[in-house]
Amino acid sequence: MLSVAVVGASGYAGAELCRIFSAHNEVCLKHLYVSENSLDKNKKISDLYGSLRGRCDLVLEPMSDPKSLIGEVDAVFLATDHKVSHDVAPVLTASGIAVFDLSGAFRISDLNVFAEAYGFEHEYPELLASAVYALPEFVDLKALRATKMISLPGCYPTASQLALRPLIDSGLLDLNYRPSINAVSGVSGAGRKAKLTNSFCEVSLNAYGVFTHRHQPEIAEHLGTEVIFTPHLGDFKRGIHATINAKLKDNVTAEQVKKAFAVYDNKPLVRVKEGMPKLMDVQYLPYCDIGYAMKDGYIVVCSCIDNLLKGASAQAVQVFNLYYGFDELKGLFG
């Protein structure tokens, strides 16, 4: 039985972690933290999320000093703002706590790229260098288990990489044609905040952050190639649908493409299907569904995830399960 804390528990990803751990029989969820000046502190998580009532009724504690966690827990999930993760993670890892970071603080290895994308200088380059970027279907298990600093991929990067990596790893793409990723996210991706742009009456399908979104360099680094990445806000609560246009090398066959995607044959959370995937098939579920079509040397790949699950919390627990050697799916369908 492992003791676990969630920092930033009042956000949407935090709440999903609470739900998952309520069904995970190897974990004792000991503490939920919010920032010390949060209005939510001292409330129960189930006061914020009525759906959790009876399943997780822990109180949201204000966190002043991460050191208070030392000796208390084996692992900490950071569902926090990038800067908070950046500041807190070193304290925790230094004392032997495994950190599962859902923020972007440890996803980009180039310090200049990081600074431009996140708006502040990274102060812990050594910890950053030791961090393992854990897309679970591709992560090196040995390296994963050798670190305390686990960086989870972003939501868009998860959908993008799961769709593109089989093709790139198999050398099937003509990368002179820069792949384009057009992805639509549900509003929960913007977090649980009172903002006019998230207000019900203001939400309507539109592109945003074109050429400027911080997930672009993350995708580019981990795919090893430049991409045009265009995120959109859609008028639904949960999920990401990504449509990717790419060019195949000359004479690539359907058989070769099929074989490339067979990399997922023994991966329980990636479902490659005939035809194109549908967002609702993965909403509230930890899967990534993938479909594709090809013609005239071009390929269109579509992938769907629940941004809060395969794109955040379920993936974090999937990695946690792999890290500690539990069944990869434990808790994920609870």
Annotated catalytic sites, by residue?
Answer: 155
Which residues, 6 or more positions from 250, have their beta carbon under 8 angstroms from its beta carbon?
174, 297
**Cα separation, 22 vs 241, whole angstroms:** 28
173-176 long-range contacts, Cβ below 8 Å, gap at least 24?
A: 173/246, 173/247, 173/248, 173/249, 174/247, 174/248, 174/249, 174/250, 174/297, 175/225, 176/247
Tell which positions 107-166 bind a second copy, by CB under 8 A: none
Q: Which residues within the stretch 297-316 sit at the binding site for a second copy (CB under 8 A)?
A: 298, 300, 302, 304
Within 155-214, the residues that bind a second copy by CB under 8 A are: 177-178, 180, 182, 184, 186-188, 192-196, 198-208, 210-211
Whichever of 70 and 276 has its CB closer to a second copy, that residue is 276
Among 94, 111, 143, 280, binds a second copy (CB under 8 A): 280
Applying CB under 8 A, among 236, 249, 256, 263 the residue interacting with a second copy is: 236
Among 41, 43, 145, 232, binds a second copy (CB under 8 A): 232
Cα separation of 61 and 69, whole Å?
A: 12
Instruction: Pick one of 241, 248, 310, 322: the residue that binds a second copy (CB under 8 A).
Output: 241
Using CB under 8 A, pick the residue from 96, 235, 259, 327 that binds a second copy.
Answer: 235
Q: Does 266 bind a second copy (CB under 8 A)?
A: no
Q: How far is the CB of 133 from a second copy (least distance, A)?
A: 24
Q: Which of 3, 38, 245, 256 binds a second copy (CB under 8 A)?
A: 245
CA-based end-to-end distance of the chain: 18
User: What is the pairing mode between strands 206-207 and 228-233?
Assistant: antiparallel
Cβ proximity of 79 and 35 under 8 Å: no
Q: Are the C-beta atoms of residues 307 and 13 closer than 8 Å to each other? A: no
What is the number of other CB atoms lying within 10 angstroms of the CB of residue 54? 8
Q: What is the total count of residues that contact a second copy (CB under 8 A)?
A: 73
- Region near a second copy per CB under 8 A, out of 26-34, 67-75, 124-132, 238-246: 238-246
Using the rule CB under 8 A, is 239 a contact of a second copy?
yes
Nearer to a second copy by C-beta: 200 or 251?
200
Considering only the stretches 76-84, 98-106, 153-161, 268-276, report the one whose residues sit in contact with a second copy under the rule CB under 8 A: 268-276
Copy the structure tokens of residue 254.
């359907």
332 neighbors 314 (Cβ within 8 angstroms): yes
Least Å distance, CB 303 to a second copy, is 11
